[in-house]
Amino acid sequence: MRFFITLVAVSLNIGCGSFRQHRPEISVTYQTGLANGQPIWISSNEELPAKALVHATLINQLDIAHGFEVAGLQGPVVLQPGDTQLVNFNTKGPGTLHATCPLHKNHKPAILHVN
């Protein structure tokens, strides 16, 4: 019986590895903060893997609304004061991404490095 269970586990593993290319996944938290008195997203991890699925938890702890957008990858969302929201996006190849706010276009974006 134990041999049978081991065999099933091994075949599932092989099947998964051989036929499906798994996209790496990463969970990141972005919290609002202030830079020179202006809202900015502060990332818990500025390094993201390439071709990965990013689960981003957005937390707006400011007393004003603030938005989140990663151009071409993640459409704009707006968080009201005190809101938390989960968004998902896929990174592409290596490069630099900017997490901007659609409400405060003149403000400094958060820089994310994709490796």
- Contact residues for Cu ion, defined by CB under 5 A: 39, 66, 101, 103-104
* Gap between the Cα atoms of 53 and 27, Å rounded: 9
Measure Cα distances from 83 to 26, 48, 52 in Å. 22, 24, 26
| 28 versus 103: smaller Cβ distance to Cu ion | 103
If we measure between CA atoms, which residue out of 74, 63, 55, 77 comes closest to residue 34? 63
| 39 versus 99: smaller Cβ distance to Cu ion | 39
If we measure between CA atoms, which residue out of 78, 61, 60 comes closest to residue 69? 78
| 104 versus 108: smaller Cβ distance to Cu ion | 104
Least separation in angstroms between CB 81 and Cu ion: 11
Least separation in angstroms between CB 38 and Cu ion: 8
Least separation in angstroms between CB 24 and Cu ion: 29
